[in-house]
Amino acid sequence: MRIAEKIKELGFETQNTQLFELGFTKYSQNLRLLRLHQGQLEPIIQYLQQKPARISKKSKEEAGDQAKEGKPKREKKEKKIRKEKMPAIETKELTEWPAHIRTLYLDGNNMLFVEDAIRKMMLGRKKKLAEQVLADLAFEFAQAIGTFNVILIFDSTKQTSSQEIVAPNGNTVKFSVVSSTPEFTNSDDALVAWSEKLGDRANECFFVTSDRGLQVRLSQNGVENISKTKRWFNLVKATIGEEKYNAVLNQN
């Protein structure tokens, strides 16, 4: 359980769940590879799929060496690969919403495994419902405050929409649910590309993600307003009230 919590803390829970669905269920192995490849799934899956073949080949080679030499071959010590340590990014503690923020960017895929109720939907293969519930929470939050636009992005979703919200304070704000594909490979790349174009407006934008790799890339583009997803969920609950929050989560 401690390894699972560490994976969640590093922002790799979505990727770990996908590895489990492919049959790779060793937490310690997944954690090591997710750290090494900074959450990029493609090289990890390729490595794990080829692992049995590599082991079989190595065993055959060692057996052949032993037969030739008449004695066990001395094992070579495995070289430790020193990977560059990812810099720590200072994220914001959200106790109240910053009044100067005009656009909120939400890393949707990264947020689907943080709140227990939404995570259960994902594990129960109710991805469409999970995305809708997350969108509804973001909608209620934007409407309650009414001072910023929202862009909720998923790697790939068919539930895209764009609408205007009239808030109780009389302001009209825009709420959009978008898919990174086909323009981008994933939501990380889309968010980074958008952040590159912000310029002086970066201080008026807020990004929510627990993906450490994405946090670093956003920071490199001058983004300072970044918060982890759990903190955002807590602020949403405090803003719209626990009763409404739970009502959104419990919809079927």
| 89 falls within a domain | no
| 90 falls within a domain | no
- pTM for the predicted model, two decimal places: 0.68
8 A C-beta contact, residue 99 and residue 143: no
Q: Domain range holding 42?
A: 1-71
Assess whether 41 and 129 both reside in one domain.
Answer: no
pLDDT at 65: 53
| 243 falls within a domain | yes
Assess whether 173 and 61 both reside in one domain.
Answer: no
Instruction: For the chain of 252 residues, list the mean pLDDT of each consecutive stretch of 10.
Output: 80 83 81 85 80 57 54 43 60 88 95 89 89 97 96 94 93 96 92 94 94 90 93 96 95 69
Counting every residue, how long is the chain?
Answer: 252
Assess whether 41 and 166 both reside in one domain.
Answer: no
Assess whether 231 and 124 both reside in one domain.
Answer: yes
| 94 falls within a domain | no
Assess whether 124 and 243 both reside in one domain.
Answer: yes
Assess whether 42 and 121 both reside in one domain.
Answer: no
**Among 27, 52, 71, residue at a domain's last position:** 71
**Backbone torsions φ then ψ of 153, nearest 5 degrees:** -120, 135
Assess whether 53 and 124 both reside in one domain.
Answer: no
Assess whether 51 and 141 both reside in one domain.
Answer: no
Sheet with 161-166: list strands edge to edge: 161-166, 172-179, 149-154, 103-107, 205-208, 226-227
| 95 falls within a domain | no
Direct distance between the N- and C-terminal alpha carbons of the chain, in angstroms, rounded to an integer: 29
Assess whether 65 and 138 both reside in one domain.
Answer: no
Assess whether 163 and 218 both reside in one domain.
Answer: yes
pLDDT at 77: 40
Question: Which tokens in the block code for residue 153?
Answer: 């992005």
pLDDT at 83: 41
Number of domains in the chain: 2
pLDDT at 76: 44
Assess whether 8 and 110 both reside in one domain.
Answer: no
Assess whether 54 and 161 both reside in one domain.
Answer: no
Lookup result for tokens 């997710």: 34
